[in-house]
Structure formats: C-alpha cells, structure tokens
Amino acid sequence: MFCWLSRLFRGLSRPTRRTTQLIWGSFSRSLVLSSQRRIPELSSFVARTNTCGELRSSYLGQEVTLCGWIQYRRQNIFLVLRDFHGLVQVIIPQDEKMPTGEIEIKVKTAKLLNSCKKLPFEIKDFVKKTEALRLRYRYLDLRGVQMQYNLRLRSQMVMKMREYLCNLHGFVDIETPTLFKRTPGGAKEFVIPSREPGKFYSLPQSPQQFKQLLMVGGLDRYFQVARCYRDEGSRPDRQPEFTQIDIEMSFVEQTGIQSLIEGLLQYSWPSDKDPVVVPFPSMTFAEALASYGTDKPDTRFGMKIVDISDMFRNTKVGFLQDALSKPQGTIKAICIPEGEKYLKRKDIESIRKFAADHFNQEVLPIFLKTSNNWNSPVAKFIMEEQGLGLIRLLETQEEDVVLLTAGEHKKACSLLGKLRLECADLLEARGVVLRDPALFSFLWVVDFPLFFPKEENPEELEAAHHPFTAPHPSDIHLLYTEPQKVRSQHYDLVLNGSEIGGGSIRIHDAELQHYILATVLKEDVKLLSHLLQALDYGAPPHGGIAIGLDRLTCLVTGAPSIRDVIAFPKSFQGHDLMSNAPDSIPPEELKPYHIQVSWPTDSETEKSSLNHPCHPES
Amino acid sequence: MFCWLSRLFRGLSRPTRRTTQLIWGSFSRSLVLSSQRRIPELSSFVARTNTCGELRSSYLGQEVTLCGWIQYRRQNIFLVLRDFHGLVQVIIPQDEKMPTGEIEIKVKTAKLLNSCKKLPFEIKDFVKKTEALRLRYRYLDLRGVQMQYNLRLRSQMVMKMREYLCNLHGFVDIETPTLFKRTPGGAKEFVIPSREPGKFYSLPQSPQQFKQLLMVGGLDRYFQVARCYRDEGSRPDRQPEFTQIDIEMSFVEQTGIQSLIEGLLQYSWPSDKDPVVVPFPSMTFAEALASYGTDKPDTRFGMKIVDISDMFRNTKVGFLQDALSKPQGTIKAICIPEGEKYLKRKDIESIRKFAADHFNQEVLPIFLKTSNNWNSPVAKFIMEEQGLGLIRLLETQEEDVVLLTAGEHKKACSLLGKLRLECADLLEARGVVLRDPALFSFLWVVDFPLFFPKEENPEELEAAHHPFTAPHPSDIHLLYTEPQKVRSQHYDLVLNGSEIGGGSIRIHDAELQHYILATVLKEDVKLLSHLLQALDYGAPPHGGIAIGLDRLTCLVTGAPSIRDVIAFPKSFQGHDLMSNAPDSIPPEELKPYHIQVSWPTDSETEKSSLNHPCHPES
C-alpha cells in the first residue's frame, strides 16, 4: 500500500501552489461498480466515505464524500485533493466539461473547512529544507510521504510484534514505572524533584530491575514497548527519550531468547521487504573483534581482517619485528577489492593520517600490480613466499589494495575495523555497490566478557553490560580467581553493522549476585537491596532482551536518522524546536519542589566551554 | 481460563508450608492421549513442555517437563508444583506407589533451581496482609491469583483494543514525547532540570497538544497507550503516573467518536463478563446534575433526585418559603426504598449532620407510614394534596423514607447526589442488593458548559475541561456576549458512577482559539504560539478522547483500588515502598543540572503542616 502511495506522490510533476486549503466535499460520479469494504476501515466513524488515495476506476459512478487538503487548484474548476492516503482529481462542473483521466470526481457540494496561510515549505519530499526548519514546523513535515510511511510502518511493525508476543506466545504486556530511584552508577539518569525536600525520582534507562522482579513475581513471560530515558547531553543520533521492545522470560536459556527474537522479526517484518531468513548467524565477541575489529560487524560485505603474523615471523622489517616481539603483538591486514582503481592517493594519505592521529598506528598500503610486483614502501622487504602467502590468506587479486598494520591485537583490529568501513564508504561514493540496500544482514554476537577493566583505573573491573548478567557456565570457576577472563551469557543482535538489541541470561542466585556486586564490582549493595532480597525468595532462572525500536525502524525504512522515525524528536542539543522545550520556569513554581537554580558564575561558564568537545584542547 | 485458575487455587485447602522452593523436573506418565498445541503457546522457547495449570487427563502417559515453585511438599514423596497457570500434583516414585487423583506426575528427574527463604507472607489470596507489606514485597504479592488475573486481563484488553484500532480501523500508534515544556496553568506537572542552567522539561499530563498537532500533520487517526503524569501530592487512589488510551481523529464529529468508543469497549470486553450493549445511553450535564447531583451518575440504581418545588409554592413552612423566594431556589427530594426498614435513627442523624457540616443545608427525613401518616418534623405542615403529590412524583411506597432539602438548585442537587450514594452504601451494608456486581452501566454525559466561573474569583472564567474544547455549534453566538452560557462539544464516558474517559471536538480555527485563550481565559498565548500557528496552516476539523486505563481495568476486574491493576504502584504518598523511591541524591549529582536543594527552615515546616488537609484549621 505504501509503496504505491509513494509512487503516486512522486509521479506528480505538475507545479503546485504553496497555499493549501482544506476542503470537505460530497461528490458524485456516473457509474457504479464496486463497494466492498476494506480492512482496516479507514473511513469508519467520520463524515467521508472514502480516502483520497483509495479510489480506482472500479468505483466509477459512486457518490463519495472526501475530506482533504487542496494540493493544486486551477481556476476553481480543477482540484487535486490530498490526504494521508493519496491524491485524487476533482472537477467542479462548469456547463459541459468532459472528464479526463482514469477517474475524476464531479463535485456536487463542497465546503471549505479551514483556510491555510502561506506554508514555510511545500509539502513535497523532493523540496529541500534544513532539518531545523523541518523540526520547527514538524506538524507540516509530518504531512510528507516519507514521514507518513515511516510512522505508519513503525506502528504496523509494533502491532505485528504484539500479535506475535501476546497472541501467539502468551506474553503479558506489563507497564513498569518511569518514576523510579537512581540506580548505582546511574550518572545518565534524569532526576525529578519530588515535593519532599531533597528527595528525587529518577527516569530509568530501562525497566531492567522491574522486568527481573516480574519474573520473581511469577509473571513468566513479560514484554513492554517501554519508554526509556538517557541524559547524555548533546550527542548526534541519540535521543534523551527512546523506545525499546523489552522482553523477559522465566526458565529460559540463551538459545530460547534467540529463537524468540528470530521469530519475532520474521513475523513483524514488512511485507514490502525481502523476508527475514532464520536462524541468524552467530559469532563470538572474540571472532567479531578479530575479523571485523568491532562487536557490531557489518556482515553485508567481506574485506575481513586477516592475521598475517605467521608470514612475518622472520621478517627483516624493523617495525614489524618490533610489533611481533611485544605481548599480544600481531600483524593484520585487510584487502580492498579493486582498491587501486577506486582509491586515490589522497584517500590513502588520509587513511594513514587517521591511523596515526586516532590510533597512533602505522598503516602500510600495498598495491598489488601482479603477483610479483608489489608497489609499497615495504615491497623490497617482502620475500616471494611472503607475497604468495599474503595473496593466499587475503585472497587478493590484481588491482586490489592491501592495508597492513602491526601492533597489539585489539588495537590493530579496531583500527582495521574502522578503515574497513571507511574504505567501504569511499568505494560506494565511487559507484561500487558493496552493501545492497535491500539486504538485511542479522548477526548474533555472543560470549562477551563479563567484565572490562575500568578505563580510568585498569586494576578495577566494571560490568561489560550490567551487573545482573550471568556468567558463562563454563567459566564460573574463574569468577573467584581470574574474573577478567570470565565470559558472560550476554548476546547482542546486530543488523547491518548497527547494534539493534542486547540481552542476557540473568543471575538468579542471590549469593552470586551479592558476590559480583560487592566483591568484584565494589558497588554499594544497599541501593539494590530490594533486588537481592527478591532473588532470595525463590527467583526462577530467567533472561531477556531489549530491541531498540527507533534504530530498528530507522534501518528498516532506510531513514537517514532516527529523528525520521520519531514523530516529535529532540534536536542534537535535546531541544524541541517546535515548542521550545526545555524552557525557563518562574522560581515560585520550583518552590513546591524545594529546589533552586544554581546560576553558573562567569568563570564556570568559561571553564565549561573549555571542556566542550568542539574546543581544540579537548 | 482465569476463572478456572481462580477456582482451582481457591479449592486447595490443604495446609501449606511457608517455604517454597523452585523446581524444574522431567516427568513421565503412563498413557498417551493428546498433544495438540494451544494458542497462545505458553511453553515455546523454554525448557518446559507444559505449564502446571495446563495438564488434564487427556495428557495421560505423556512425558512432560515442568518448571515451578513447590507449593506443598510431604516427605519428599508428594509435591504440589505451582506456576502462574495453576497447580499440579507430583509423585516421586517410592517402590510401588499407586497413583491418586485424576492425574499426577511421576518424577523421572528433578532439579532444584533455587532455594527460598521463609516468605514474609504465604502466596494465598485469602491470607490477610496490609497493603504496605504487599507493596514492600510486591514481587511476592504478584504471585497471587488475583494480581495475576488483573495484570493478565489488563494486557489482554489492551491487546484487543489495539487490534480494533490498528487492524480494524486503520489507526496509527504514535509515541509522543514525555520530555516537554510546561503548559499554561500546568501547576500539576513534574519538572525535570536539563543541563542548561534554569531550563526545565516538564512531564505532560496528557499528549493533548501532540495529538492535535498530529492531526494538523495529516496523520488522520492516531492512538497511543500513553503514560501520563500528574503531581497532585498525596491523594488516595491517584497515581503520579497513569495510563490512558489516547485517541484523536480528523474530520470527525461527536457521534463518530462515541460510536468508535462503544465499538472499542464491546470488542475488547473480557469474554468472562456479560457482553457490552451498545449504543450507550446519553444524558446532558444539566440532566445529570438535576437527577443525580453529579456529572458522573451511577445509573445502576434509581433513587433519582426529584424537584418538588411546585408542590410547595404555597407552603407555610418558613425555611421552604425562604428557599423558594431566592434565585435558583428549589425544593428537592430523594426516596429511599424501604428506608424505614434499613436506616437507623443514627443513620438519619449522621445524614443531617453531613448536610449541615459540608453543605450548610438542612435535610428533612420523612418516614412514610401510610399515605396519610407522615412521620416527620414537617408532617403537620404538609397538606394532604402535597402529600399525595409527593407520593406521585417520588413514586414512594409504604416503608420508604424521603429525604427533602431546600436551597439553590446546584447545591441542593449536589447534596442529594451525595446522600443518594451514601444511602446506597448503607442499604447494601444491610444486605440489600442495589448495584449488581455483574452489571456494567455505561453512560455518556454531554453538553457540558464550556467555561466555569473561577472558584477564587467568580467574575473570571476558566475552561471547564481544557482551552482547546470547541463550543457547541448552537451556542457559538453567545461566546462574544455571554460566554458563561456557552455549552461545549465535550463528552464524558461514565461507568458505574466513575468517569472513565472524556474528550471533545477541538477548535480547529486559529482565530477562535486565540480569542478564547487571550480574551475569554486571559492566558499567556505565547506559551501556545506553536499550536496557534499550526491551526493557521490548514488544520482539519478534529476531535478525540482519552480513556483512563487504570480506572477502567479496576472496574472491570472489580479490584478495590487502582493499585491492584498496576504492577508496581506508588503508595498514597507517592512512594515506591519496595525500592524506596523517591530517594536522596548526593549534591554533586545535582551539579550538572544547575540546581540545589532549598532545605525548608523550621518555621516553614511548621507552616506547611498547618496547611495540611488533616489539620483542623483547613
């Protein structure tokens, strides 16, 4: 339905006036053919009999009532009427005028419902406008075909998900509170002053604690399309409030959650896209890092990272020798197909500069002319068997470019992972189709570490995801001796290189949970005493997942930003440009909440601008 | 399904140990009969093959895997296993033991999944516990049959509503922001400090502005199960966050919205209740006030208020003469059937005291012995034809009691409306069935006034509902001359005497909206400039409604409080008794938000306690 809509709108090439008027008319035609009802019924309960987009020649002769906006008007004789569903031609009879087009509507009565001021921009998707203007007049922007498609598709996908979860698999849709208390380490949680002096609610980042408590409460299969909140200040493509499909099950293992989600996406996938193929492939965290340099690999294309350390064990090249002699020292490479044809000298220069600036790493480009003719700064040090080995390992062909780096495993992989994506963008900018826009490449990433060393103090550990994640059953013995080596029962769902979901089997044993919180993570367990207590009262084994609905819809619709799949998003800076939120409040309205504004002094303002990421010092 | 569940639990009368353990077992039985799948599939993706509540003799002989809590255990031979779905008997084979009961499960292997500390209360609905204890251990309280029933019924009703709106009638489920800006007069809105000094978001009381802007945006049919927020301090049976089924349509009139909602409730009504009969009766606000003394009449029973002023035009009774001589002066009465039998002298006394204390009104009781024998303080002043008139108007019979009052129309009605409900409670406490618990009595109340005089300054007007409500088309001419007389296109939906929803046709004309905001209501239009501007760009005629989901579910389930249909409700004081929210926050965590706590001084604390409603002065 929506594809058709989009074609119709785009096919309209007549010039259109900027002023749109709203009209409600009763129209008659001269032949009757069909009147069967459609489901969903889009004209129930209202004055119209049909939507503008619905009419076809099979309706010829019927009397219809339409409501819509005037998209185009000529001499009050000819109108094009528009609603969310499409456009239709309307003729206001003038003596004897012949009908034109497949169908058109002969006006019997027409009523002007509202007038319209000159619009700040035309309601046409091809009309270029800044995002700021679109957000300021969001109520006009929403009339566009693409925004209508995005929001309606989102609604339909969520509805199908609900059918799958509730009707097919007995999940219970349960609403959990958003006025909660701060969680340990919840530095990104908005605070809400209450009427009790010094007491604050907090907007939770997810219903994590509540969903686990529901399992303790015997609810067995819970889901919620949950509003979540995260205060990260200004970050592009993040929203202070966002939505996740939040799921938790009792008596489940990792494979159960994975099958559930595969079925969920398959069931809810839009019918105008290629069907989802299940099961999704799976990859360990270690493998993802080694082959793609990231925990969210874009598996739509190759160019995988290859470890070529073994080729160079006896190398004479100084920096390669150096790298290999260090702990975790490796030599890695990626191969860019036809790189010589598509990458320019300045691309290679900017790749090397990026590696030096952001990773403090050297990257060597190798242009493969013929199998024995290496064009590279290190060409003269590469022996023939090394060259042949490289060709075999990297499956290089003539005109390919190899990017080689040497260094600590994780760092070398991360760098090449970034360069892999960078080169893919460069190649696509030059017309190579690497990532088919119709392809949706799902991937499970599993066996994450349970803890990471803290960045600011690597002697201490922090939870890789959250402190409720269960350790991998095979690694549980390491928890008390080498906790940094313990893998977790966490799993991420990746789509086309974006993380769209993540979850885990949770700890259901109070003692284990207490040990991890207090001894490993050194958290204040008092803040979580209710959860620890709940686990002590016969908590069932349980696990779950959350799918990021905004990101998922964005990928499915191909929208350039998550702001295009949200009706009223905030700007980069967290502002509502239409209503001007957040806004000032008179001090007396803060009194009931026992708070006052601490206005920053001039020196503080200066200091904070020094810390701003745009400042060269940062 | 849930009825059965509830019977099974209630039927269990064996003594039960307070300690419950969690078990996961693989069991075998000796006959195979049936294995058809049920929809919804409650055991997909998990280790169990069946729920405890699902098994019947048709499953005899099948091998099953169950997970659940041990409800009862005897000598490790006999177990009763419980999950959300029900109970089942389990036998651990000891040599040769004969099976008992219709079915029981012979254990092959069993695995203890978790242990359980001594519970603070048994998981039995008939075990009395305070609400504070239930809320503190909500995760245990949720295991009870009634809470499981309430939350599952709520989920199912909402799912059916979504099917009706999305699948049958083409509504689009659209999420609107909860981080918004303060609305004019939004004194009950929580504030959320942002990272910009002095700038605050606000949690909206409803998506009112957004839903109207969606109509301007051509979304045509919107709905959302919307989380709303209202900070009213401590109020019994109100929650600081609550949920409404929020609906808006373009090109619609009042009757369209009403039919939609009637269909919605009919479609989503639980199958274990009597079906909803549509259309619902309708009553004007004026009629509701005159006959029931309230805008939310409980129409499950009679005892309507009757105006008997005409009977007493020539009365000699002083206070009746006085009342009738004043503007809007009336004499009203209600008749309590068999009141003489059920109402005690002290009931009558407390009724008269209530009227005097809260309404400053006199109430006269008249005990009708026989048609000519009035037992009342005014009996001697009631002439025979007045008596006969009373009997005719009030349809009184022997042993009825008439309560009579005289005074200004609205005040007299309000008083008798309260007494009507009070007497119904009294009669029911004495065994009279006035309100059938299986009866759901829906009612539309329409033609509300558009404005009310402000309580603190009756010269000024305020919006009876909200300033976006459209005036009644027949009264529009009065808007510029006598605005207090204008009726609105607002409608309330009442169920069994509770308001469960309300909505209106909105103003879609920018000029009219500006006139009402600025001239009639004297609001600061700057705060709503985005909405006024949106109306100017071809806003379609539109209207909508919001249904209070918590209240509706509460009435449908017969729960004593809305807290019983919410998974994790707040207490009267707005506290989460389980996690102890709201809570203190270290001052450094408030710094990024540029706020600090203004701790009240001792004198302020005292002053605020003087203003507390419990204090005798208030």
User: Which tokens in the block code for residue A290?
Assistant: 């080694």
Q: Are B570 and A177 an interchain contact pair (Cβ–Cβ within 8 Å)?
A: yes
Checking if the pLDDT of A140 tops 50, the result is yes
pLDDT of residue A91: 80
Residues of B whose CB is below 8 A from A534: 139
Checking if the pLDDT of A196 tops 70, the result is yes
- ipTM for the predicted complex comes to 0.89
pLDDT of residue B391: 86
pLDDT of residue B375: 66
Backbone angles phi, psi at A405, to 5 degrees: -140, 160
Which of A42-56, B329-343, B521-535 shows the lowest per-residue confidence on average (mean pLDDT)? Answer: A42-56
Mean pLDDT of A305-334: 90
Residues of B whose CB is below 8 A from A169: 40-42, 44-45
Checking if the pLDDT of B331 tops 80, the result is yes
Q: Is residue A498 packed enough to be buried (19+ CB in 10 Å), middle (13-18) or exposed (0-12)? A: middle
Q: Are A191 and B593 an interchain contact pair (Cβ–Cβ within 8 Å)?
A: yes
CB B323 within 8 A of CB B330: yes
Q: Are A39 and B168 an interchain contact pair (Cβ–Cβ within 8 Å)?
A: yes
Q: Which of B217, B540, B584 is facing A142, going by the closest CB pair?
A: B217
Work out the pLDDT band at B516, boundaries 50, 70, 90: very high
Checking if the pLDDT of A1 tops 80, the result is no
pLDDT of residue A111: 83
User: Which tokens in the block code for residue A54?
Assistant: 């619905």
pLDDT tens, position by position, B550-596: 999 999 999 999 999 999 999 999 999 999 999 999 999 999 999 99
Checking if the pLDDT of A320 tops 90, the result is no
With tokens 């140990």, the residue in question is B17
Work out the pLDDT band at B20, boundaries 50, 70, 90: very low
pLDDT tens, position by position, B523-543: 989 889 999 999 999 999 999
Work out the pLDDT band at B72, boundaries 50, 70, 90: confident
User: Which tokens in the block code for residue A299?
Assistant: 């598996």
**Which of B251, B506, B594 has the highest number of chain A CBs within 10 A, making it the mutation to test binding with A?**
B251
pLDDT of residue A604: 61
Q: Which of B46, B119, B260 is facing A249, going by the closest CB pair?
A: B46
Mean pLDDT of B81-93: 83
> Residues B6-12: contacts with CB within 8 Å, 24+ apart?
B6/B145, B6/B146, B6/B149, B8/B53, B8/B86, B8/B87, B9/B86, B9/B87, B9/B124, B9/B125, B9/B145, B10/B125, B10/B126, B10/B145, B12/B71, B12/B80, B12/B87
Give the mean pLDDT of chain A. 86
pLDDT tens, position by position, A352-390: 999 999 999 999 998 876 555 666 666 666 777 777 888
- Pick the residue from chain B with its C-alpha nearest to A259: B45
**What is the 8-class DSSP label of residue B221?**
E
- Provide the whole-model pTM: 0.89
pLDDT of residue A11: 23
Residues of B whose CB is below 8 A from A188: none
Q: Which of B151, B537, B589 is facing A172, going by the closest CB pair?
A: B151
Residues of B whose CB is below 8 A from A535: 114
pLDDT of residue B617: 32
Residues of B whose CB is below 8 A from A42: 169-170, 220-221
Work out the pLDDT band at B616, boundaries 50, 70, 90: very low
pLDDT tens, position by position, A549-559: 999 999 999 99
Residue A407 is inside which H or E element, if any?
strand A401-408
- Pick the residue from chain A with its C-alpha nearest to B46: A252
Work out the pLDDT band at A146, boundaries 50, 70, 90: very high
Q: Which of A199, A201, A252 is facing B45, going by the closest CB pair?
A: A252
Work out the pLDDT band at B312, boundaries 50, 70, 90: confident
Q: Which of B45, B179, B598 is facing A256, going by the closest CB pair?
A: B45
How far A283 CA sits from the closest chain B CA (Å)?
21
Q: Which of A119, A158, A195 is facing B233, going by the closest CB pair?
A: A195
Q: Is A112 helix (H, G, I), strand (E, B) or coil?
A: strand
Q: How far is residue B258's CA from residue B492's CA, in Å, rounded to a whole number? A: 10
pLDDT of residue A381: 67
How far A461 CA sits from the closest chain B CA (Å)?
23
Q: How far is residue A462's CA from residue A452's CA, in Å, rounded to a whole number? A: 5
How far B86 CA sits from the closest chain A CA (Å)?
11
pLDDT tens, position by position, B368-409: 765 556 666 666 667 777 778 888 889 888 889 999 999 999
Q: How far is residue B234's CA from residue B231's CA, in Å, rounded to a whole number? A: 9
Q: Are B142 and A583 an interchain contact pair (Cβ–Cβ within 8 Å)?
A: no
How far B160 CA sits from the closest chain A CA (Å)?
10
Residues of B whose CB is below 8 A from A242: none
- Pick the residue from chain A with its C-alpha nearest to B538: A116
Which of A465-474, B105-114, B413-422 shows the lowest per-residue confidence on average (mean pLDDT)? Answer: B105-114
CB A439 within 8 A of CB A275: no
Q: Which of B47, B119, B220 is facing A251, going by the closest CB pair?
A: B47
Q: How far is residue B272's CA from residue B294's CA, in Å, rounded to a whole number? A: 31
Residues of A whose CB is below 8 A from B183: none
Q: Which of B41, B69, B221 is facing A169, going by the closest CB pair?
A: B41
Q: How far is residue A195's CA from residue A173's CA, in Å, rounded to a whole number? A: 31
Query: Looking at this protein, which amino acid is placed at residue B532?
Result: L
Q: Are B176 and A69 an interchain contact pair (Cβ–Cβ within 8 Å)?
A: no
How far B82 CA sits from the closest chain A CA (Å)?
10
- Pick the residue from chain A with its C-alpha nearest to B43: A169
Residues of B whose CB is below 8 A from A219: 84, 142, 148, 151, 567
Q: Are A595 and B598 an interchain contact pair (Cβ–Cβ within 8 Å)?
A: yes
**Which of B158, B178, B200 has the highest number of chain A CBs within 10 A, making it the mutation to test binding with A?**
B200
